[in-house]
Structure 1
Amino acid sequence: MTGTGIDHEVIIVGAGFSGIGAAIKLQEAGFDDFLIVDEADGVGGTWHWNTYPGIAVDIPSFSYQFSFEQRASWSRTYAPGRELKAYAESCVDKYQLRPRIRFDTTITEAEFDEDGCRWRLHTATGDELTARFVISATGVLTRPKLPEIPGVDDFAGVTMHTSRWDHQQDLRGKRVAIIGTGASAVQVIPETAPEVEQLVVFQRTPIWCLPRLDLPLPKPVQWALRVPGARSLTRLISQTYVEITFPIAAHYHTKLPTAALGERAGLAHLRNQVHDPVIREKLTPRYALGCKRPSFSNDYLVTFNRDNVVLETDPIAQITSTGVRTASGTEYPVDVLILATGFKVMESGNMPTYDLRGIGGLDLEKWWDENRLQAYEGVSVPGFPNFFSIIGPYGYNGSSYFALIENQTRHILRCLRHARAGNATIVEVTREANDRFFQEMLARRGGQVFWQDSCAVSNSYYFDKHGDVPLRPSTTVEAAWRSGHFDLSDYRFATSA
């Protein structure tokens, strides 16, 4: 934007699917002056960084894709990670986004320049980028979370987090310990167990694991999906399944019995897969289905029937230079320590992944600490004009992330189009609109599963430091409708002097 002192009209932070989806829709709407920045050396976000054995999408592939770019060539109903990475690459190439992406660029802080009515973004290398508007698309599965266990840094063997898998390491014949039984562990454990000498799984909280209809999609099926209307129908069926299994089950727990049906299915799956009643008891969740995101796997539970797999539920007291010691004194010698401890999700330093200061130097992290996590429709926060989030508090309802991306991008584009039509250079949600939305979200949460007594023992990352669960308590259909019909007067549109 020559002559304005602004490098780009819009800067998108993040080249995962959130950033890709936002960029595609910006182009379609005629917003051509944008730049995508990402700290990685390739696109895909989660699917660029996470390459551990067994990685795959945890909802049907037909739902885990853009509605406007539906693929017929998935190899399975639950696509492996490499196909999601390839899908990201194909979207970037088809929509000619690659020249607009700046890789190996870590944003460390962003501050709103009130005089210039622009955002100044600072990088780890000392560069500065400026933009009228910023779209934060950094996702939530971004910053690996390391366990706070004494001695974790003292281990002399190989240590790796599942999100930063070292493919140079050969696990064959090794003594391996894996800490955690969340979503990534459910996928990596069945892949690892057959090749190691011993696999010790340290479980803090058992996870609900349900069977999944994971079927190969051979060429004839892929050809059939190219028939007009076939992909749309398949997607509708898939979306309905996803909606029932989490958003409806979680947010309408007190009104609909879907969670109870899911629990019965999960317990039956556990009985059918695990032979030893003692191990089966250890793997039985003591909290309601939905307190934390469940997993779907046909291979995870049966792995605990193997002679070389140990399920340890005694808390870890210390990690030594040669292994792991439990609270009761049992010590396991270990060659490789795998941390399947997830990500910083509802924690400081992750939403966004950089320091953010708005009007008058207002610090977003500090403001959230003082006022609880909140954002109007999951997109905007008062005091931070011209800044929009794809995955903000109360934006995501637990459905497909692609539904979220398209909904939030629709919301953002309504704001940008209105600003352009009125030559506005300032777009800021009003405090009144934000407060109204936040109170609505809080008023709805009584029907959610998260507030059942049993959730207190689930150790769910859904709960933030304030005890809130900043997930949108609504159906995906409602979220989509609101993204296209919110009252534009909930924002202040102004022109800088």
Structure 2
Amino acid sequence: MNRNPKVVIIGAGLGGLAAAIELRKAGYADVVIVEKADDVGGVWRENTYPGAACDIPSPFYSYSFEPNPQWPRRFSQQPAILDYIRGVADKYDLRRHLRLGTEVTELRYDEPTSRWTVRCSDGETIVADIVVSAVGQLNRPAFPAIAGREKFAGAAFHSAEWDHTVDLAGKRIAVIGTGASAIQFVPQIQPEAGQLNVFQRSPAYIGPRPDREFSAFHRALLDRFPAARFPGRAYWYGRAESLSVAWAYSKSLAAVLRSYSRWHMKRQTRDKPGLFERVWPDYPMGCKRVLFSSDYLPALTRPNTDLITTPIEEITESGIRTVDGTDHPADVIIWGTGFKATDFLAPMTIIGQGGADLHEQWLDGAHAYYGLTVPNFPNLLIMYGPNTNTGGGSIIYFLETQARYVRGYVDRYAEVGRPLALRPEVEQVCDEEIQAELAQSVWTGCTSWYRTATGRVTTNWPLLGIQYRRRATFDAADYEVVPQ
């Protein structure tokens, strides 16, 4: 029996904080949150590009136990979201658990002591009974394999590492990538650019973004009458979950959404003949991430902006050369090319029972029991792990489910006083069921960041969020107690 286990949580984003709050509510005090940066916030601390915002409405993109009556907008931007996360850390007294500026490089399970050794980049080690990795899926910028990236003489940076010292006014700007980040920052930088060339590898389905500013009266009403917050949250839950219904169950609903997207995109591109044909996708809707914007496509119609769909051959000293031999001069290159979403828990080294290496175990694609635990790695839990991304809803809904699972797991460990090892057959059956669902899903219809190079979908949950919540509940029968 171990009533006060030492728990190390890696990452102080929304997942790590949710786990810490659950553990603190349960009375566990020996919790350390190790964070490589200098503050909480995760992706909302790192992504500071112009226009950075969430595409899930704020009333739903927040903890259910901590609704925020002071959201400034329906789709709040990065500063407001970061302020919310910082406020949660303060309210729940989590800062005393933080160890900031500390990056974890290795996790190693010590079988004689049945504990984890957590090694940090500064040489320090922490010994823990339980480790919770909450490093997320979208934390390592990805760059496509384009020749010559190091040759470019001008300023260049990834959207997730925005260089605010670079003056964009009047510059020739090349944006590579047209995903969720690019459609937010392109409309922000277009008015100040001398020339803006946007390089698109494949188009995305885009729906309107019904954003609006919340009035002082609206905020005061929610502040004074807390019950008034929940109808809005429930409404947006239903709207967001309808996308998952379309991808998983209803081809007719998906067809309606596709028609709505076509109407929106055609209407917004009518000022530039031929643009619609270049931005309209030729793959099933939902196969790649659906985007929401009411100002991206209009930005592409402006006289100083060109959408270039010819593939890039190489980066040169002075700009970008496409495969047709055309040189596109640039003063600045901005990479809007997303993240290494399928490289789970990288670049940490993670060694479990019998010397098992987690990344070797995942060579054919990451997989875990409802994204949370893995055979051969007792007392290691994962937040936002394999197959727990959502194609429609709010990831915070999933994170809260996982935080409750972490609490149940720690409760069981505290009861028996020994590590819990996931039964391999339990994980295998779960993975086979998930992959069978995914094999019939919309996500196999194209290449996207949801899939590995071999085609395995490792990021997304194939069904509804409510189904994940019902299934991902801790059951002690799924685990064996590791003997002394």
**Pick from 396, 400, 423: which aligns with 2:394?**
400
Provide the residue aligned with 1:59 in structure 2.
56
Could you say what the CA RMSD is over the residues aligned between the two structures, in angstroms?
Answer: 1.5
Q: Map Cα deviations across residues 127-161 of structure 1 (whole Å, 9 max, x no partner).
A: 11111100000011100112211110110100011
Alignment of 1:205-284 (within 5 A): 205-226=202-223, 227-245=225-243, 247-252=244-249, 255-275=250-270, 276-284=272-280
Structure-2 separation of matches of 1:51 and 1:81? 7
Q: Map Cα deviations across residues 449-476 of structure 1 (whole Å, 9 max, x no partner).
A: 123xxx23xx310111331213222211
Provide the residue aligned with 1:426 in structure 2.
419
Provide the residue aligned with 2:452 in structure 1.
464
- Identity percentage over the alignment? 37
Structure-1 separation of matches of 2:390 and 2:412? 27
Q: Map Cα deviations across residues 363-404 of structure 1 (whole Å, 9 max, x no partner).
A: 11111114x421111100000000000111123333211111
Alignment of 1:9-408 (within 5 A): 9-226=6-223, 227-245=225-243, 247-252=244-249, 255-275=250-270, 276-347=272-343, 350-370=344-364, 372-398=365-391, 399-408=393-402
What letter matches 1:409 in structure 2?
A: A
Structure-1 separation of matches of 2:310 and 2:110? 52
What letter matches 1:481 in structure 2?
A: R
* 3-state SS, counterpart of residue 288 of structure 2: coil
Shift of 1:483: 2.9
What letter matches 2:453 in structure 1?
A: K
TM-score normalized by structure 2?
0.96
TM-score normalized by structure 1?
0.93
Structure-1 separation of matches of 2:80 and 2:347? 26
Greater Cα shift, 396-405 or 162-171: 396-405
Q: Map Cα deviations across residues 218-254 of structure 1 (whole Å, 9 max, x no partner).
A: 1111122232321111111011011012x222222xx
Q: What 5-or-longer segments of structure 2 have no aligned partner?
A: none
Q: Is the 8 A contact 1:136 1:352 kept in 2?
A: no
Structure-1 separation of matches of 2:354 and 2:439? 36
Structure-2 separation of matches of 1:290 and 1:264? 13
Structure-2 separation of matches of 1:375 and 1:81? 31
Structure-1 separation of matches of 2:41 and 2:295? 26
Shift of 1:352: 4.3
Q: Is the 8 A contact 2:137 2:385 kept in 1?
A: no
Shift of 1:477: 1.2
Shift of 1:81: 0.5
* 3-state SS, counterpart of residue 89 of structure 1: helix
How many residues are aligned here? 478
**Pick from 448, 451, 472: which aligns with 1:483?**
472
What letter matches 2:203 in structure 1?
A: P
Structure-2 separation of matches of 1:293 and 1:61? 19
Q: Is the 8 A contact 1:388 1:412 kept in 2?
A: yes
What letter matches 1:288 in structure 2?
A: P
* 3-state SS, counterpart of residue 22 of structure 1: helix
Check 1:149–1:405 CA distance in 2 against 1; reply closer, same or farther (3 A cut). Answer: same
Structure-2 separation of matches of 1:327 and 1:466? 26
* 3-state SS, counterpart of residue 259 of structure 1: helix
* 3-state SS, counterpart of residue 153 of structure 1: helix
Structure-1 separation of matches of 2:355 and 2:84? 39
What letter matches 1:266 in structure 2?
A: S
What letter matches 1:474 in structure 2?
A: L
What letter matches 1:293 in structure 2?
A: R
Structure-2 separation of matches of 1:325 and 1:256? 40
Shift of 1:305: 1.1
Q: What 5-or-longer segments of structure 1 have no aligned partner?
A: none
Structure-1 separation of matches of 2:238 and 2:348? 36
Q: Map Cα deviations across residues 171-195 of structure 1 (whole Å, 9 max, x no partner).
A: 0011100000000000010001000
Structure-1 separation of matches of 2:472 and 2:439? 24
What letter matches 2:348 in structure 1?
A: Y
Q: Map Cα deviations across residues 5-47 of structure 1 (whole Å, 9 max, x no partner).
A: xx97100000111111111111001111010011111110000
Check 1:8–1:493 CA distance in 2 against 1; reply closer, same or farther (3 A cut). Answer: closer
